[in-house]
């Protein structure tokens, strides 16, 4: 009886200590949780260092780092048709510390072009900013007769089956852009695919191929040197670097014609809305600065400000529908 009375206070003390420890254990994660950002943020870029996309991302990443007070580093992951980085993002924790750039091919063309995709474009991501459009320039050899889009259309119809166009490969955005034009105007032009954009443009200068919707970054210097003739740009807005060259929509009297790529900054699905909102606020402010706007123009890009996550999703969905229809019409669905 005496032993039992002696142990009773000790047992009560032990129980209280265990209860306190359990409470502390439950509270520990909450105590350790810190507001975003508490550490380094990584932005995955699906192209190699030194490309136009990489240059622009590094420019705004530096300003984002200064604003949030944490390092923002770039992780270049080229490959897999611009999908390697986006695939990595789909597997990343939705905590705001891993982001990735995606493009129109990865998000709007490849879902129909490829038999299998390593991610779901609708469910795996939340868009932060669709900040630039990457237009193509309709170029021809200076030795080709047409000097504007209407003349080119007439010339192509008068020489049905004799005209050709080059691209950096079947299923590339440039390929689908010309096919989109062909379908709109019922043109007969032969596709000549190459292994790279520089090769495809070189044969236009040499007169071996009639035309192309070429990347602005490659074609702008050649246009300025008189080695290519620019007839139109594929965006709905004129290109700052070629203010006198009309949009294809203007030149062809088709107001809805747009055939562009674009860059969108994504986070994994499930990223807390307050983090997404903070990133959107920071990116909108940074991208609106004069210095960044000038850099965008110098790279042959057009700034774009989507007002909300819903607006970005709506635009990307419309792009998927448009390019999916073109891919299917060419019999290329599931071909890669």
Q: Given 252, 280, 304, which residue is the final one in a domain?
A: 252
Mind listing the pLDDT tens digit for each residue in 156-178?
999 998 999 999 999 999 999 99
Q: Which domain holds residue 296?
A: 41-134+261-329
Q: Given 229, 252, 275, which residue is the final one in a domain?
A: 252
| Residue 157 sits in the same domain as residue 85 | no
- For 72-99, b where at least 16 C-beta lie within 10 A, e where not — what string? beeebbeeebbbbbbbbbbebebbbbbb
| Residue 140 sits in the same domain as residue 248 | yes
Straight-line distance from the first to the last Cα atom of the chain, in angstroms, rounded to the nearest whole number = 83
29 located within any domain: no
At residue 32 the predicted structure's pLDDT band, cuts being 50, 70 and 90, is very low
Q: Given 235, 252, 269, which residue is the final one in a domain?
A: 252
Mind listing the pLDDT tens digit for each residue in 260-295?
999 999 999 999 999 999 999 999 999 999 999 999
Mind listing the pLDDT tens digit for each residue in 187-198?
999 999 999 899
> What total number of domains does the chain contain?
2
* Four-point Cα dihedral 180, 186, 190, 194, nearest 10: -10
**How many Å apart are CA 252 and CA 154, to the nearest integer?**
11
Q: What is the pLDDT of residue 14?
A: 45
DSSP 18: H
**Mean per-residue pLDDT, 102-117:** 96
**How many Å apart are CA 207 and CA 37, to the nearest integer?**
54
| Residue 293 sits in the same domain as residue 324 | yes
| Residue 92 sits in the same domain as residue 186 | no
Helix axes of 273-287 and 290-298: crossing angle, nearest 10 degrees: 80
| Residue 155 sits in the same domain as residue 245 | yes
Q: What is the pLDDT of residue 217?
A: 87
| Residue 287 sits in the same domain as residue 201 | no
At residue 126 the predicted structure's pLDDT band, cuts being 50, 70 and 90, is very high
Q: What is the pLDDT of residue 305?
A: 86
**How many Å apart are CA 275 and CA 253, to the nearest integer?**
43
- pLDDT tops 80 at residue 28: no
| Residue 243 sits in the same domain as residue 163 | yes
- 209 closest CA partner among 185, 234, 233, 191: 191
Write the CATH number for 265.
Answer: 3.40.190.150
Mind listing the pLDDT tens digit for each residue in 200-241?
999 999 999 999 999 998 999 999 999 999 999 999 999 988
12 located within any domain: no
Q: What is the pLDDT of residue 12?
A: 53
Q: What is the pLDDT of residue 307?
A: 74
| Residue 246 sits in the same domain as residue 311 | no
Which CB contacts under 8 angstroms, 24+ apart, belong to 119-123?
A: 119/83, 119/86, 119/87, 119/89, 119/90, 120/90, 121/316, 121/320, 123/269
- 131 closest CA partner among 197, 84, 80, 63: 63
200 located within any domain: yes
26 located within any domain: no
Which secondary-structure segment (H or E) carries 291? Answer: helix 290-298
Say what percent of the chain tops pLDDT 70: 90
More confident residue, 313 or 26: 313
| Residue 122 sits in the same domain as residue 147 | no
At residue 306 the predicted structure's pLDDT band, cuts being 50, 70 and 90, is confident
Q: Is 166 in contact with 192 (CB distance < 8 Å)?
A: yes
Mind listing the pLDDT tens digit for each residue in 47-80?
999 999 999 999 999 999 999 999 999 999 998 8
335 located within any domain: no
| Residue 162 sits in the same domain as residue 223 | yes
Q: What is the pLDDT of residue 264?
A: 97
| Residue 160 sits in the same domain as residue 241 | yes
336 located within any domain: no
DSSP 30-67: HHH--PSPSS-EEEEESS-TTSHHHHHHHHHHHHHHHH
Mind listing the pLDDT tens digit for each residue in 9-18?
444 544 554 4
Q: pTM higher than 0.75, yes or no?
A: yes
| Residue 222 sits in the same domain as residue 128 | no
Write the CATH number for 167.
Answer: 3.40.190.10
């Amino acid at each position: 009886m005496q032993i039992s009375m002696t142990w009773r206070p000790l047992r009560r003390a032990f129980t209280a200590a265990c209860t306190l420890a359990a409470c502390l254990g439950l509270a520990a994660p909450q105590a350790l949780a810190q507001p975003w950002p508490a550490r380094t943020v990584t932005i995955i870029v699906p192209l190699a260092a030194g490309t136009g996309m990489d240059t622009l991302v590094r420019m705004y990443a530096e300003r984002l780092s200064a604003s949030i007070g944490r390092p923002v580093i770039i992780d270049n992951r080229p490959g897999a048709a611009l999908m390697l980085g986006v695939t990595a993002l789909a597997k990343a924790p939705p905590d705001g510390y891993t982001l990735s750039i995606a493009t129109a091919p990865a998000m709007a063309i490849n879902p129909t072009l490829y038999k299998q995709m390593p991610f779901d474009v609708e469910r795996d991501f939340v868009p932060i900013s669709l900040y630039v459009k990457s237009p193509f320039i309709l170029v021809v050899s200076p030795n080709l007769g047409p000097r504007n889009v209407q003349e080119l259309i007439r010339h192509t119809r008068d020489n049905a089956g004799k005209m050709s166009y080059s691209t950096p490969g079947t299923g590339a955005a440039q390929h689908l852009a010309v096919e989109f034009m062909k379908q709109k105007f019922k043109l007969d032009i032969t596709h000549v695919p190459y292994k790279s954009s520089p090769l495809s443009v070189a044969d236009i200068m040499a007169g071996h191929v009639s035309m192309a919707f070429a990347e602005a970054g490659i074609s702008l210097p050649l246009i300025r040197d008189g080695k290519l003739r620019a007839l139109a740009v594929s965006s709905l807005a004129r290109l700052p670097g070629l203010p006198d060259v009309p949009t294809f929509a203007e030149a062809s009297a088709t107001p809805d014609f747009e055939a562009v790529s674009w860059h969108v900054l994504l986070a994994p699905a499930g990223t807390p809305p307050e983090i997404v909102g903070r990133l959107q606020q920071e990116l909108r402010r940074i991208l609106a600065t004069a210095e960044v706007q000038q850099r965008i123009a110098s790279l042959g890009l057009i700034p774009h400000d989507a007002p909300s996550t819903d607006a970005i999703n709506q635009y990307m969905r419309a792009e998927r529908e448009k390019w999916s229809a073109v891919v299917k019409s060419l019999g290329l669905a599931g071909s890669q």
